[in-house]
Structure 1
Amino acid sequence: MSAHRAGRPFFARMVRILAVPIIVFWAILAVCTNTFVPQVERVAEELAGPLVPHYAPSQVAMLQIGQKFQESTSTSMTMLVLEADHPLAEADHQYYDDLVRRLRADTAHVQYVMDTWGRPITAAGAQSLDGKSAYVLLRLAGDIGQIQANDSVNAVRDIVAKDSPPQGLKVYVSGAAPLAADTVNIANSSLNNITIVTIFLIIFMLLLVYRSITTLLVPLFGVLVLMLAAKGVIATLGHFGYIELSSFAVNMVVSLTLGAGTDYGIFLLGRYHEARLNGETREDAYYSAYRGVSHVIIGSGLTIAGACFCLSFARLNYFHTMGPAVAISMVLTITGALTLVPALLSLGSLFGLFDPKRTVKARLYRRIGTSVVRWPKPILVAAVTIVSLGAVFVPTYRVSYDDRAYQPTDAPANQGFQAAERHFPQSKLFSEMLMIESDHDMRNSADFISLDRAAKALMRLPGVAMVQSITRPMGRALEHASLPYLFTTQGSGNGMQLPFVRQSNSNTDQQAQIMAHTITVLQKMITLTQKLADEMHDTVVTMEDMQQVTDQMNSEVANLDDFMRPLRNYFYWEPHCFDIPACWAFRSLFDMLDSVDSLAGDIKDAVASLEVVDKLLPQMVSQLKIMADDMQGLQALIVNTYGPSNIQADNTDQTFDDMINVGNDFDTARSDDFFYIPREAFDNEDIKTGMELMMSPDGKAARLIVTHEGNAMGQEGIDHVEQFPDAIKVALKETSLAGAKIYIGGSGSNNRDIQEYAKSDLLIAAIAAFVLIFLIMMFITRSLVAALVIPGTVAFSFAGAFGLSVLIWQHLIGLPLHWLILPLTFIILVAVGSDYNLLLIARLKEEVHAGINTGLVRALGSTGGVVTSAGLVFAFTMLAMLSSDLRTIGQVGSTVCIGLLLDTLIVRSFIVPCLVRLLGPWFWWPTFIRQRPLPPRLRARSTPVDPVTTPV
């Protein structure tokens, strides 16, 4: 070790002089920021931001859908699940209707209610097959994760709890927004548990290390004040809008502040004890300790602060809210470690409170150092093998995005998911919502064909259990909406006419029979008429002869009348002729002679008429014969028509049956081929209701709801969603909707964005952190190689730690690691793990004047116990996060704990020393370090001074 007397740096002297004011200042800062400003948990709730940024495709989709459908201006979606121990009855429906009415009345929190169960056309799609469960989709005010969304979730739960449901019915508030709200609530409620468990673990570990209650007061009191101050300061900054906060960030702030603050206290107290054991006075030991670890504390703290601050470049809320908060808390921790803790040490050392109670033996770590110097390669291989045993499990890592698995099973949202899974497919509450937006009104038969084409393309993808759209509102092919069934309805019309056709055929047959009878009668009439014509001709001949006789007779009577006229006059002149019989007899005779003339005229007229009839009757007979021939032809036509018509009726009957069977078969098969809705169907009330739910008010956008097959919250859900855009584009290619915009939102698409952003965030933060850590290490060590080795070995140890965490959580416990574990623990472990290597390398540089090998043994011997104690304390501090009810926090803590144990016990103790030994002077390049110490006679001439690490 250096033999010259330690100097007294200005800053260390000021801290010692102002010890009491410094302690008072930190105490006042902790008290004031936690008294006059809302507690950090409440501030974190108020500042909670959306889990995924608004510009993410999934969030853009949800916002666009809400805007186009005039439903919502946020991304929060909630599912109300109704579960009964009996098939849902009328009373349950009435309760549901009243609940929907009350939800719609709360416009401040509920922006939209998709009442599918209350509509006949969509009710089947919202009710389970066993009839015991149903659900309703709500869109709430506020984005998922924000305080407004959480308040909306609470408001919905209050509405549900206000009125008791019917006997046997339970109502659960579940879905993405309630799940996020429960995550925040559980994280906040578990923070006090984590803090208490951490403090007890720190006390326990410090008692094991120091075996003295008074000695542990320095790091314990200091770290408690620093924790309160850090919480108060970030709460103040968050409350006044200077930084963003989240519940997860607060948990990390508490754990890292307690762990790092305790470590720095152990570093300082360990160096103080070392100086006291080397015979220095309490005051000199204070300055030696301050000078020996201050640069390590600064470098370590800045490493953690800088690495975590790089998370502020991330896009995911979990990360970028943690960056500034942790960075600020670490800066406060550094400041406190360089002011408050030394002030406590200085003040207590005046009374001898913190002197070592026992001699610290460095024999174990000196032996380790000696072994490393002698056998660096075998030890390096063995150490690398141990770490690699954990790293071999990294390829088996299976990421999980299912936040349900990381909450208690009795969490309110989880109860809803469990109820849904008892009746619905596994991912029913994690459906995807898609929107196809066109530049024209799609409420027509042609565009409906294209929309159904898109729905069919989605339905036929692997991993899709159900697709609901305007063309399939119940999640299956719309009944009676196919061309075969349309033809069936047309055939049905023909079938309805078939009885009339058969009756007409029967009438035709009767007509043919009547016609045959008529022809027979007509033929008889022709015969009779012919006889009548013949008789009439004979009659005419006779009448003509009679006419001649009457004409002759008339002529002779005229002659007689002329001769008897005088006598006749006498009879007509006699006034009493009527009384004289002879007179009246002759008078009557003369009257009879006058009638002969009339008779002759009448016979002449009759003969003329009979001659006309005689001429007409032959013509009538001729026409009747023509009529008979025509009626026989008509009869033949009727008979010919009846036969084919009857056969056609039989064929129509068979064809109608076939058409009915085809339509029924298509309905029974639920085939979605040949979809078609006729134009008149758009006036149907059910179709109008479906369009209200599934199409935007202007008709230019259509909504599709896709239910996953399997777990939508895992990688398979992401794989499913990645197929959707191409499937829809191909389906709409060269259709009436070609070029339409496609938006996809929901659980799978949200997780896809998280996956992409997590990868890019990790890459950005890792590169920035590595560069920052490299620069800090290079500044402190003055070595390019050392600055590369330190973060490199820590990254290697992370691989082993992460693999062991995969083994424990995924393979043994059966719970895959949450998606944020990898990026978050990587940044933390790379930053925190560098601290212990930095302390070793800094101490090695102080001892390297004795030669690399000797300096290595001395550095390991002097820092081994301190670093091991600090590493164990920090590791178990992070392990205390297992006490959180949120398993995500426990996974972060356990993974960091494993990494710190590997880094403390394997990497810092064996791998880094072996690399130092094997690289030799090259480890310090470009600084020139001799492999062996200078000879005594030359040592006085060469006294290199390192302004950073060499005592002054």
Structure 2
Amino acid sequence: MIVLSIERWTAPLAARWSRTIGRRPKDRSVVRFVERFAIVVIGLWALLAGAGNLAVPQLEQVIHEQSRAFFPPDADASVAAARMGEVFGDSDSNNVTYVVLEGVLDGSARAYYDALVAALRADTTHVESLMDLWSDPLTAPIAESRDQRATYVLLRLSGDLGSAEAARSVQAVRDLVTALSPPPGVAAYVTGPGATIYDEFASFDRQMLVITAVTVVLIAALLFIVYRSVVAAAIPLITVGLSLGVARPIVAALGAHGVIEVSVFSTALISAMILGAGTDYGIFLLGRYHENRRAGIDHSDALIGAYRSVAPVIAASATTIAAALCCLSFAKVGMLRSAGIPCAIGIVVAMAASLTLLPALCAVAGRLRLIEPKPSRIARRWRRVGIVVARWPGPVLVTAGALLAVCAVPLFWLSIGYSEVAVQPSSTESNQGYQAAQRHFPAERLLPEIVLVEADHDLRTPQGLIGIERISRRIMEIPGVRAVQSASRPAGGVQPESTLTDQAGRIGSQLASQTSTLEPQLDSIGTIRTTLVRLSGAVGQLQTGLSGGVHGLEQISSGGAELRAGVRAVRENSETLAGYLDPLRAFVANTPDCPVHPICGPVQRIVAPIDGMLSGTGQLSDATGKFDAGAADAGRSLAGATDAVATMRGAVADLRELVDTLTATIDGLMPQLQQMTDYLTGLGGDFAGTAEGGFYLPGSALKDPRFQRVLQLLCSPDGHATRLLVYGDQGSWGRAGATRADQIREAIHEATKEGSVVDVDIHISGVGSATSDLHRYFEYDFRLLAVTSMLLIFVVIALMLRSPVAALVVLATVVASYASALGASHALWRYVFGHDLHWAVPSMSFIALVAVGADYNLLLAARLREESVAGLHTGMIRTFAGTGGVVTTAGVVFGLTMFAMFSADLITIAQVGSTIGIGLLIDTFVVRAAIVPAIAALLGRWFWWPHLWVAKRREGAGFSSISAGLVLFQTL
């Protein structure tokens, strides 16, 4: 139904065009207008180009100010970077850059580093955050190489990767590094992912300018060789030049106002697309014009006939490619997205120039007879080729198909490369920085995957650290992971003091030391027991002595009583005697000079001793009383001491029993203690350096100032999030890094199914995760480009040729040509030069090859349809004679200029150029020259189904059969 509707819709248009060309005197077609006012048309194009470039900033300036990020903001890596900035109160940019210092790290290097860090901190416009590890003694070993000849500082710069702001930030840091002038013997490099993308874009922009200039020179030289006329060679180039002069200001104006997205790829691809398509369109028109002139048609009619034959092909091809390019505005990758609308504008402008400016230039040059065709045998040679294809279409198809299959076979082993480092020259500063780091640090030191793990509780606890170590250990099990730096392993490996076995070994060592110290003390227990035995004997003797003392005191007390009675009797008798002597005392007292008195003197000598005896007797009596009391007290005291000594003797006996028990216990415990000591010590020694043995850090260790610094770096301020740095052993920029990022996410999910850290949110940022995003986006964008392009090609060609079969053949051959070119290019680069095809090559080459391939095949099919009124075989031979030289010229010219890109230092450009060049040669000499006409010959009139041709030629039928597309273009 759709095909019949197309037939019914295009038939009136063809009839209308037949009636139109039948009224030649009243013809008001575009070509007539252009021919009549050729100078005006040329002047208008020149005026538009000049005014546009004067009124609008140059496209390069707009790109420098307006280019957007490489990845969309919803990319996983971009979201992770933003989330880390939010959680840690840090930068949310993914523009990670390093400044690497290499050389003798002496005092001058330290002074330069300090000055650089201070200047970077002061530049808040371009530097959003800075991690200075080398200045802190606690973290300096992490940032300094083991040979002490390299260090680095980590920066997060303003602007997301690929944006104009990011480029300005990287350049500002490099200017600052250069301005401070590193000391002699020290080299400073600005490297890292941000610098890598900056260097790649800068190299692409710089080399594309040179390559474009070389391409123009090559095209001019090849056109001159083909046409042997400077004017004829200049006409396509003038058309291309003015097309660029008009298209670039349009793109710049729209980009400057934010209407469309632009990037360094915009200016490169718009130049390539206009140059390729515009040159092909010019060759098509000049080729048909020369054919008409060789047929004897005058200049004006030759131009009109060429225009009416070629214009529908130009309009259909340009419309198809422009529409497909517009679909790239939905692409995820910034490079493709920014190339879509600008290139579509370029193609539309090139189409407009080819339909107006190009015939105007031909009209002026034709009137002056400056583009007359030169004698050539090319048409005759291609006629022979047409005879072969028409006579033996089956063998030709099989042979050509086999050639395409051979070229496409390497696609089964196609390996896409995602390394933005490998495609750059080794002389770029970012690559030099990577090389410097590689010489002194472990592999991939500057390219870790930064993993953010968020939990619903504080992770700065022993339980939280156990969960972090569980995650770290599971990540370490991933193939290709070299080290994990986390809160549980801040130096990138398991710290011995954080394992239970190491702690057990330390306890065993301490027990052994204490046991050796205790042994002399245990030996003194025997001395104590001996002493206690002696003490017990001494106490027994004391008890016996005290018992004898008590008995003696009792006898003394009894004697004292008798003595006291005797003394009392003596005193009483003395007192009686003293009473008898009272008269004598009175006599002595009253007699003067008693000593010399003969009687008083002797009396006095008798009385005085007796008085002395009486006084002594009194004192003796008092002393006897005191002695008796003292003897009583001593008796009582000795009796209490005897009881105490008895108690003491029992206590000593108990103590001896306890010592005996303790000795027996120690004798049984010491072998067990020695066995436990040996086990713990051996446990610590056996597990030393194995990273096994169970992780545990007590709460007291978390208060250590060194560990507090680690927690500040790796844990969020509230402790609910932590980040881990995962280092691979290679391939962070490639598929290995992308695969590793996906495996890290899966490993964390497995590690948090149970334990102290569960139900976590995971975000991964880094080169590997970005490559994973890029791989996913690349597949999406390529499918989008391929499906829309093929669908549009099919619809437009089906409408133009009024045959879905022909459209399907053209579409299939375009795809086959592309697959063969990609396979051959992959084989060349992988097995000859040792490089995978860069991820941008399939998309960029697809755009170019589909555009050019559709042109060539559409021109061939349209001409074949036009000539088939004379019969299929005859029409095919005429088609080859008429288009063979034209398409070959276009293919060779464009193909050789693409091969000129092979000399570019940026491997991406070289791969794109070689792929497109191979594809153009395949399309020119295999697809267009053999496969499409062979299929048409085999299908016969079914090639044009459902429009079955009548052999009878009607007036104007030749033109009407190919003009529906042009009528639609003119009507619009």
Instruction: Give the TM bin, normalised by the shorter chain.
Output: over 0.9
User: 3-state SS of the aligned residue for 2:449?
Assistant: strand
Are residues 1:377 and 2:389 paired? no
Give the whole-Å Cα distance in 2 for the aligned partners of 1:90 and 1:243: 52
Alignment of 1:56-205 (within 5 A): 56-84=75-103, 86=104, 88-205=105-222
Deviations 1:679-725 (A, max 9, x none): 23333221222122212223222111111112111111111111111
Alignment of 1:366-445 (within 5 A): 366-445=383-462
- Cα distance 1:144–1:790, how it changes in 2: closer, same or farther (>3 A)? same
Contact in 1 for aligned 2:800/2:965 (Cα 8 Å)? no
Amino acid across the alignment from 1:415: Q
Match of 2:40 in 1: 21
Deviation at 1:56, TM superposition (A): 0.5
Deviations 1:550-580 (A, max 9, x none): 56x45xx747855883554543674158743
Deviation at 1:597, TM superposition (A): 6.8
Contact in 2 for aligned 1:365/1:861 (Cα 8 Å)? yes
Deviation at 1:739, TM superposition (A): 1.2
Q: How many residues align?
A: 939
Deviation at 1:778, TM superposition (A): 0.8
Deviation at 1:481, TM superposition (A): 2.0
Gaps of 5+ in 2: 1-17, 596-600, 968-972
Deviations 1:38-81 (A, max 9, x none): 32222223222111111000110011112222221321010111
Amino acid across the alignment from 2:87: K
Match of 2:920 in 1: 900
Deviation at 1:945, TM superposition (A): 5.0
Match of 1:471 in 2: 488
Amino acid across the alignment from 1:51: F
Match of 1:279 in 2: 296
Q: Which moved more, 1:568-577 or 1:792-801?
A: 568-577
Contact in 2 for aligned 1:74/1:142 (Cα 8 Å)? yes
Contact in 1 for aligned 2:496/2:689 (Cα 8 Å)? no
Deviations 1:903-943 (A, max 9, x none): 1110111111111112222211121235xx35x9xx79999
Which residue of 881, 887, 890 maps to 2:901? Answer: 881
Deviations 1:425-466 (A, max 9, x none): 332222111111223332222212211221222122111111
Amino acid across the alignment from 1:223: V
Q: Which moved more, 1:750-759 or 1:447-456?
A: 447-456
Q: Which moved more, 1:89-98 or 1:308-317?
A: 89-98
Deviation at 1:34, TM superposition (A): 2.8
- Cα distance 1:543–1:241, how it changes in 2: closer, same or farther (>3 A)? closer
Deviations 1:454-499 (A, max 9, x none): 1222122111111112222221113522333445566677678668
Match of 1:304 in 2: 321
Give the whole-Å Cα distance in 1 for the aligned partners of 2:122 and 2:668: 66
Contact in 2 for aligned 1:303/1:772 (Cα 8 Å)? yes
TM-score normalised per structure 1: 0.92
Contact in 2 for aligned 1:255/1:877 (Cα 8 Å)? no
Q: Which moved more, 1:805-814 or 1:568-577?
A: 568-577
Match of 2:469 in 1: 452
Deviations 1:201-256 (A, max 9, x none): 11122123212223222223222222333333322332333321111221111112
Amino acid across the alignment from 2:198: A
Match of 2:610 in 1: 589
Match of 1:231 in 2: 248
Give the whole-Å Cα distance in 2 for the aligned partners of 1:164 and 1:847: 73
Alignment of 1:754-793 (within 5 A): 754-793=774-813
Give the whole-Å Cα distance in 1 for the aligned partners of 2:610 and 2:661: 72
Contact in 2 for aligned 1:307/1:831 (Cα 8 Å)? no
- Cα distance 1:370–1:617, how it changes in 2: closer, same or farther (>3 A)? same
User: 3-state SS of the aligned residue for 1:475?
Assistant: coil
- Cα distance 1:6–1:913, how it changes in 2: closer, same or farther (>3 A)? farther
TM-score normalised per structure 2: 0.90
Which residue of 848, 851, 854 maps to 1:834? Answer: 854
Amino acid across the alignment from 1:866: V
Contact in 2 for aligned 1:798/1:829 (Cα 8 Å)? yes
Contact in 1 for aligned 2:475/2:481 (Cα 8 Å)? yes
User: 3-state SS of the aligned residue for 2:717?
Assistant: coil
User: 3-state SS of the aligned residue for 1:480?
Assistant: helix
Match of 1:316 in 2: 333
Deviations 1:1-28 (A, max 9, x none): x9x9895561111111110011111112
Match of 2:369 in 1: 352
Match of 2:963 in 1: 948
Alignment of 1:644-793 (within 5 A): 659=680, 662-663=683-684, 666=687, 668-669=688-689, 671=691, 673-793=693-813
Match of 1:215 in 2: 232
Identity of aligned residues (%): 36
Q: Which moved more, 1:557-566 or 1:680-689?
A: 557-566
Amino acid across the alignment from 2:33: M
Match of 2:650 in 1: 629
Are residues 1:565 and 2:576 paired? no
Give the whole-Å Cα distance in 2 for the aligned partners of 1:887 and 1:185: 14
Match of 1:10 in 2: 29
Match of 1:292 in 2: 309
Deviation at 1:598, TM superposition (A): 6.5
Give the whole-Å Cα distance in 2 for the aligned partners of 1:596 and 1:233: 152
Give the whole-Å Cα distance in 2 for the aligned partners of 1:314 and 1:545: 136
Contact in 2 for aligned 1:194/1:880 (Cα 8 Å)? yes
Q: Which moved more, 1:152-161 or 1:507-516?
A: 507-516
Deviations 1:91-111 (A, max 9, x none): 433332222122111111111
Q: Which moved more, 1:845-854 or 1:148-157?
A: 845-854
Match of 1:264 in 2: 281
Which residue of 597, 601, 610 maps to 2:631? Answer: 610
Which residue of 589, 592, 606 maps to 1:575? Answer: 589
Give the whole-Å Cα distance in 1 for the aligned partners of 2:211 and 2:414: 27
Amino acid across the alignment from 1:112: S
Contact in 2 for aligned 1:784/1:925 (Cα 8 Å)? yes
Q: Which moved more, 1:530-539 or 1:245-254?
A: 530-539
Q: Which moved more, 1:394-403 or 1:236-245?
A: 236-245
Amino acid across the alignment from 2:86: Q
User: 3-state SS of the aligned residue for 2:398?
Assistant: helix
Which residue of 49, 55, 58 maps to 1:39? Answer: 58
- Cα distance 1:597–1:352, how it changes in 2: closer, same or farther (>3 A)? closer
- Cα distance 1:646–1:141, how it changes in 2: closer, same or farther (>3 A)? farther
Deviation at 1:531, TM superposition (A): 3.4
Contact in 1 for aligned 2:508/2:679 (Cα 8 Å)? no
Q: Which moved more, 1:469-478 or 1:122-131?
A: 122-131
- Cα distance 1:597–1:463, how it changes in 2: closer, same or farther (>3 A)? same
User: 3-state SS of the aligned residue for 1:406?
Assistant: coil
- Cα distance 1:880–1:561, how it changes in 2: closer, same or farther (>3 A)? closer
User: 3-state SS of the aligned residue for 1:748?
Assistant: helix
User: 3-state SS of the aligned residue for 2:695?
Assistant: coil
Deviation at 1:780, TM superposition (A): 0.7
CA RMSD of aligned residues (A): 3.0
User: 3-state SS of the aligned residue for 1:471?
Assistant: coil
Q: Which moved more, 1:366-375 or 1:838-847?
A: 366-375
Contact in 1 for aligned 2:800/2:962 (Cα 8 Å)? no
